[in-house]
Amino acid sequence: MIGDFFTDLALDAHNHLNPVDPDVEGAAVVAADSFSPEVEPHGLIHPPHNLCGTDPAVGLHDRTQVVCGVGTPDADAVHWHFQGPEEACAVVSQGSIIESLTGVPFDEAAATRWLEQQGWYDPATGTRPEDVTRLFQAYHVPTASGSTTVGGLWDALAAGDKVMVTLDANEIWHPVHDPATGAPLESLQPAGHAVWLTGIEQNSNGEWKVVLNDSGHQGGRAETVALADFVNAWDDYGNQAVFAGGHAAPLSPAETGART
Amino acid sequence: MSENRDRLVTAAASISVDRPAGVAGLVAGLHRDPVTARLPIEAVALPPVPDRQNGRLLISALLAVPTADRTRVHRPFGTVTWNPSDGSVVQLSEWGTELPETVTGAERTDTTWPLPESEDRMRTVCAALDELAAGRTPNLTELYRSALPSQAIAWYQALVPAAVPWLPDQQTWALPRHTDVGSALGGWIRDVAAIAAETNAPALGAQLEMLAEQRMRPGFRVAVVGEFNKGKSTLVNRLVGHEVVATGPVPTTALFVVVMAEDAASGSVRTAGDHEIAVPCAWLATIDTELVDTPGTNEAGEDRTPEVRRAVTLSDAVLLTVSATSPLSRSERELIAQEVLRRHVPFFAVVVGFLDQLPPEDRAAALSSVRSKVQQLAPETPVLTSPGPVGGEDELVAIRDLIADYAKKNEDRRWRTNKIASAVADIAEAVADVAGQAAVAAALHDAERTAAVERERAELARDAAMWDGLRVEFETRRRALVRRVSDSLSGDADVLVGALRHELLRAPDPKAYWEHDAPYRLRRELAALAHKYESLVLAGMTSDIEWLDTTLAERFDVVTPTTRPAARLAAPHTPLPEADMTDLSRRKMMTRIGAAGGTVAGYVLAGAVGLAMPPVALAMAGGLAAAILAERSLRNATEGQRQVVDQLLRQAVDAAIAEVTEQAALRIRSLYAEILDGMSARRAAWRRSRLAASAEPTRSATQHSALADRATALATTIRAAVADDCGTSREDS
């Protein structure tokens, strides 16, 4: 059953995840009996919402001032996990998203153990960009990865996809701004971090915020970050994003490198 | 929906991200560049080094992944090389877990390294590399001392040979090691002094000489105390291996004899009346310690207790010598009770001598008896055997080891070293400022220079007036603190009188009690009161020093290196105390102020009790009082007699409290003067140097600029090392 998925992976990955080679088209035909047929992420995704022009929702974070937005931050906040002292942000972000799609509780320890066994996760050598979707792939979650824009993020959320981005955590946790211009300043020693972007909103003051399920600290559930700080932090990582769910259009190469 | 998306896109497009330029931009863009974007998302570039290929200047950096707590990095997995002229990645090398063969030695085995956490250091290195790319010659070597862990130096030397000329010499390089601030301090002082001399800033050079003298003082002081002829001097002589102090039953005239290792004696400054002896003693030198031989508390028929207590309050550790042939005397018990139980010195031990004068079969029992009595008073106190004048090698080693252990544990020494290092960094920044001023002045026309000199003169005069005003206000605050101490002590006078009267009225021999017991009881009660009001003194001093910091910041429109917060001068690397702090945190805070040793509160109050002379106050009994005291017992005293006794006690207590208050006032004044004078003198030296630099720049603008850069780099290095050391200290604690 799905509930045993991560544990099973850790116990005997080969028995349960036999031919997985996500780099080979069609190879992600994981033995259907070990990956339960209940794995149907599309049907379990919370419907996308667009609050613009409707009553603001009252959720896990105070959105009483929200006048406009996209995404499902309140529903997604339920599936936030804290990664603890481990450098497992990509693992936890993927696992949380998978949990939201399937309803199966995420077991971080089992997942990281399994990924380590596969050579896709090692705290000493870090997580390669090509490995940040391994869990999605193993779990048959359709994904699109690449560089995109803030508009692209909006579109993916609006389409119902879950979005994971890589960014410099220093610049969202401890943002520094130019005292004269107010422009966000770039950190020279980035703290590379993968987070689940659950929404983009505008409040009654006209300020745009992004809502993140950030596994990196205890206050990361439905954390809101000023758009400027997010743009600064995300820009450091080439505006890379992963859209999970298969609703959004494939990322256009033309968008690569563009900010908006 | 579409309108909202468009508004978002418009908002995002209007955001201006301030990307750094130059080498900093290359480092910051590590994950943005298409070539390096495939690196692990956690990867960071360590501070980069210059590289050369085919005659081109390139920039190379080790790549590593930080540990989860981001205080360290895992061993590097690769290097990246940029071309700074066009910002392109020239080369990306990765070796994964297989180490490069060129890396050898201990650095190969270290699996994690300290992560240079300061973003400022990274920016400084990047800026220096930009200068290098622009054809200038920044002092990169000094910057790398603080910006790179030692392992990175070794790896860069092995992997980027072209960087070697800019890297610190690994053989002599020891700065980033936390414990080496002390050993590097002398070199820093010399380096800053050399730059000050080249900048023609002798006033700042004089400040450095004072710091050099402070540095030469041993970092740990052990007082050897005890009654007359109890083996103090013999013990001191045995410990240092030389007959340096007179022994035997001849009272010495000196109040204190300070014995230190020869190297530490040069440049020493001492209070008049103290004697110093420098001996060639490797043991003392190694543990950076001096011994203080004190007069016997009952030497030459006089009560030397006040002087001995002064020595105690100025010391870090105390060894009390007692004799196995006589029971613990009252003064010995008092000393243990007050100094150990009140914890005025961090380290205290008892050394038992004259065991050889007992029959061998009785020695163990005698030692056991002393140990039992000492430990009844203070259970944790170590009791050791004296080596005597000859032999006793095992006993000698045990005492030396104990002292060495005490010295090693002593936090004050570390704090003092860091304090001096911080002051050297302050002066290095002042020198940099003066050199910068000289560079500006060198480029001015005569008329412009004259105007600049006038401006500096005006600033100097303004400073002098400001300090005068500050001194008056600080003095007012000092008086207020003394008044609070006085009021508090006086408030307890009734309780004190009541306690003494209770004992006096029940004494079988009131006269004997008055003459023999009352002085000790009064001193003990005063010591208890002093302990009670330690936090009052500390809170008052903390408040005054914070006021000084705030006022300086408000009144000096320019923050200069010479107006560092006074709190840094008066406190170690722990926060200043709260009035209700625990004994432990108070113990940690109470440390040396300036040249004065001992604890702040112990120095101010308990030390003042030691100097107060209750026997003098008690000697006032005369006339009717003397007659009453001569009664065999006062149990059946009349009301009239009781009133006379009360009056007598009141006079004695008031006199003793007045004495303590006066002594405490003198000590607070001395401490406040030390804090204020030190700050004003350093600022005045900086101002005068600026004036001289404005009037007569001795070199070209370029040369002065280079001196300023060197001084700035040194200050950065020193501050980083001190910060690292303080970080280690916190981890240790």
Structure token digits, residue B713:
């780099």
pLDDT of B587 reads 31
What is the DSSP annotation of A10-37? HH-HHHHSTT--TTSTT-----TTTS-T
Q: Are residues B477 and B404 in the same domain?
A: no
Question: Is the pLDDT assigned to residue B582 strictly greater than 60?
Answer: no
**B161: distance to nearest CA of chain A, Å?**
25
Asked whether residue B343 is assigned to any structural domain, the reply reads: yes
Domain regions of chain A by residue span: 2-255
SS3 B183: helix
**B69: distance to nearest CA of chain A, Å?**
7
pLDDT of A94 reads 95
For A217-235, what is the mean pLDDT? 93
Contact B4 A184 (CB under 8 A): no
pLDDT of A237 reads 93
Q: Are residues B128 and B257 in the same domain?
A: no
Question: Is the pLDDT assigned to residue B76 strictly greater than 80?
Answer: yes
Asked which of B294-298, B393-397, B563-567, B609-613 is least confident by mean pLDDT, the reply is B563-567
CATH code of residue B393: 3.40.50.300
Question: Is the pLDDT assigned to residue B462 strictly greater than 60?
Answer: yes
Question: Is the pLDDT assigned to residue A171 strictly greater than 80?
Answer: yes
Contact A227 B12 (CB under 8 A): yes
Cα–Cα nearest to B290, from B322, B261, B323:
B261
Asked whether the beta carbons of B248 and B317 are under 8 A apart, the reply is no
Residues B196-237: tens digit of each pLDDT:
988 888 889 988 888 887 777 777 888 898 888 888 888 988
Cα–Cα nearest to B287, from B406, B197, B388:
B406
Asked whether residue B142 is assigned to any structural domain, the reply reads: yes
Q: Of all helices (H) and strands (E), which one includes residue B585?
A: helix B583-589
Asked whether residue B191 is assigned to any structural domain, the reply reads: no
pLDDT of B684 reads 84
Q: Are residues B691 and B631 in the same domain?
A: yes
CA distance B186 to B727: 22
A90 close contact with B: CB closer than 8 A: yes
Query: What mean pLDDT, rounded, does chain B reach?
Result: 76
Which residue shows structure tokens 């003298």? B213
Structure token digits, residue B100:
């490069």
Taking CA–CA distances from A69, the nearest residue in chain B reads B4
The total of structural domains in chain B comes to: 3
Asked which of A116-120, B187-191, B570-574 is least confident by mean pLDDT, the reply is B570-574
User: Under 8 Å CB-to-CB from B230, ≥6 apart: which residues?
Assistant: B296, B321, B322, B323, B353, B354
Strands B49-53 and B44-45: unpaired
For A114-140, what is the mean pLDDT? 85
Q: Are residues B496 and B601 in the same domain?
A: yes
Q: Please, is B104 exposed, middle or buried when counting C-beta atoms within 10 Å of its C-beta (0-12, 13-18, 19+)?
A: exposed
CA distance A193 to A95: 15
Residues A179-191: tens digit of each pLDDT:
788 889 888 888 8
- Phi, psi at B72, each rounded to 5°: -140, 170
Per cent of chain A over pLDDT 70 is 71
Asked whether residue B431 is assigned to any structural domain, the reply reads: no
Taking CA–CA distances from B98, the nearest residue in chain A reads A125
The minimal CB distance from B42 to the residues A158, A192, A231 is found for A192
Q: Which residues of B touch A188 (CB under 8 A)?
A: 20, 24, 27-28, 119, 122-123, 126
Taking CA–CA distances from B112, the nearest residue in chain A reads A124
Asked whether the beta carbons of B27 and B60 are under 8 A apart, the reply is no
Question: Is the pLDDT assigned to residue B356 strictly greater than 50?
Answer: yes
Question: Is the pLDDT assigned to residue B177 strictly greater than 50?
Answer: no
Asked whether the beta carbons of A193 and A89 are under 8 A apart, the reply is yes
How much is the CA Rg of chain B, to the nearest whole Å?
32
Query: What mean pLDDT, rounded, does chain A reach?
Result: 74
Asked whether the beta carbons of A200 and A211 are under 8 A apart, the reply is yes
Structure token digits, residue B348:
């205290």
pLDDT of A235 reads 93
Asked whether residue B415 is assigned to any structural domain, the reply reads: no
Show which of B137, B171, B205 is a domain's final residue: B171
User: Under 8 Å CB-to-CB from B43, ≥6 apart: which residues?
Assistant: A126, A192, B30, B31, B63, B64, B65, B77
Question: Is the pLDDT assigned to residue B329 strictly greater than 90?
Answer: no
User: Under 8 Å CB-to-CB from B297, ≥6 apart: which residues?
Assistant: B225, B226, B227, B228, B303, B304, B305, B308, B331, B335
Q: Which residues between 188 and 247 in chain A have a beta carbon less than 8 angstroms from any beta carbon of chain B?
A: 188-194, 200, 202, 208, 227-228, 231-232, 235-238, 240
Cα angle B211-B216-B217, degrees, rounded to a multiple of 5: 105
**B76: distance to nearest CA of chain A, Å?**
9
User: Under 8 Å CB-to-CB from A11, ≥6 apart: which residues?
Assistant: none
Asked whether residue B459 is assigned to any structural domain, the reply reads: yes
pLDDT of B629 reads 60
Q: Are residues B110 and B28 in the same domain?
A: yes
Asked which of A68-77, A241-250, B49-58, B637-646 is least confident by mean pLDDT, the reply is B637-646
**CATH architecture under which domain A2-255 falls:** Alpha-Beta Complex (3.90)
**A32: distance to nearest CA of chain B, Å?**
32
Contact B24 A237 (CB under 8 A): no
Asked whether the beta carbons of B501 and B622 are under 8 A apart, the reply is no
Q: Are residues B405 and B461 in the same domain?
A: no
Cα–Cα nearest to A160, from A81, A229, A246, A32:
A246
Question: Is the pLDDT assigned to residue B101 strictly greater than 70?
Answer: no
Asked whether residue B488 is assigned to any structural domain, the reply reads: yes
For B628-656, what is the mean pLDDT? 71
Question: Is the pLDDT assigned to residue B172 strictly greater than 60?
Answer: no
Select the more confidently predicted residue: A167 or B345: A167
Residue of B9, B17, B63 to mutate when probing chain A, most A C-beta within 10 A: B17
CB pairs under 8 A between A and B: 150
Select the more confidently predicted residue: B115 or B343: B115
Q: Which residues of A touch B96 (CB under 8 A)?
A: 125
**B434: distance to nearest CA of chain A, Å?**
28
CA distance A222 to B191: 54
Asked whether the beta carbons of B32 and A238 are under 8 A apart, the reply is yes
What is the DSSP annotation of A155-175? HHHHHT-EEEEEEEHHHHHS-
Taking CA–CA distances from A131, the nearest residue in chain B reads B40
Task: Categorize the per-residue pLDDT at B358 as very low, low, confident or very high, splitting at 50, 70 and 90.
Answer: confident
CA distance B309 to B297: 9
* Domain extent at residue B38: 2-171
- Phi, psi at B250, each rounded to 5°: -105, 115
Rounded-to-10 torsion of CA B70, B74, B79, B85: 10
Taking CA–CA distances from A257, the nearest residue in chain B reads B32
Q: Which residues of B touch A166 (CB under 8 A)?
A: 31, 41
Q: Which residues of A touch B123 (CB under 8 A)?
A: 188
Task: Categorize the per-residue pLDDT at A36 as very low, low, confident or very high, splitting at 50, 70 and 90.
Answer: very low
Q: Are residues B246 and B309 in the same domain?
A: yes
- Phi, psi at A223, each rounded to 5°: -75, 135
Contact B38 A227 (CB under 8 A): no
CA distances (Å), origin B153, targets B71, B137, B142: 18, 20, 12
Q: Which residues of B touch A48 (CB under 8 A)?
A: none
Select the more confidently predicted residue: B133 or A63: B133
- Phi, psi at A210, each rounded to 5°: -105, 150
The minimal CB distance from A151 to the residues B9, B44, B68 is found for B9
For B374-396, what is the mean pLDDT? 84
Residues B529-565: tens digit of each pLDDT:
776 777 777 778 778 877 887 787 777 654 444 444 4
Q: Which residues of A touch B75 (CB under 8 A)?
A: 124
Cα–Cα nearest to B426, from B203, B705, B711, B180:
B711
User: Under 8 Å CB-to-CB from B649, ≥6 apart: which residues?
Assistant: B497, B500, B501, B504
User: Under 8 Å CB-to-CB from A54, ≥6 apart: which residues?
Assistant: none
Contact B28 A190 (CB under 8 A): yes
User: Under 8 Å CB-to-CB from B426, ≥6 apart: which residues?
Assistant: B561, B562, B564, B682, B715
A119 close contact with B: CB closer than 8 A: no
The minimal CB distance from B4 to the residues A68, A85, A240 is found for A68
Q: Which residues of A touch B149 (CB under 8 A)?
A: none
Per cent of chain B over pLDDT 90 is 10
A58 close contact with B: CB closer than 8 A: no
CA distance A147 to A149: 7
Q: Which residues of A touch B69 (CB under 8 A)?
A: 85
Asked whether the beta carbons of B411 and B585 are under 8 A apart, the reply is no
Question: Is the pLDDT assigned to residue A234 strictly greater than 60?
Answer: yes
Task: Categorize the per-residue pLDDT at A124 as very low, low, confident or very high, splitting at 50, 70 and 90.
Answer: confident
Q: Of all helices (H) and strands (E), which one includes residue A202?
A: strand A192-203
Rounded-to-10 torsion of CA B220, B226, B229, B233: 0
Q: Which residues of A touch B13 (CB under 8 A)?
A: 259-260
Asked whether residue B710 is assigned to any structural domain, the reply reads: no
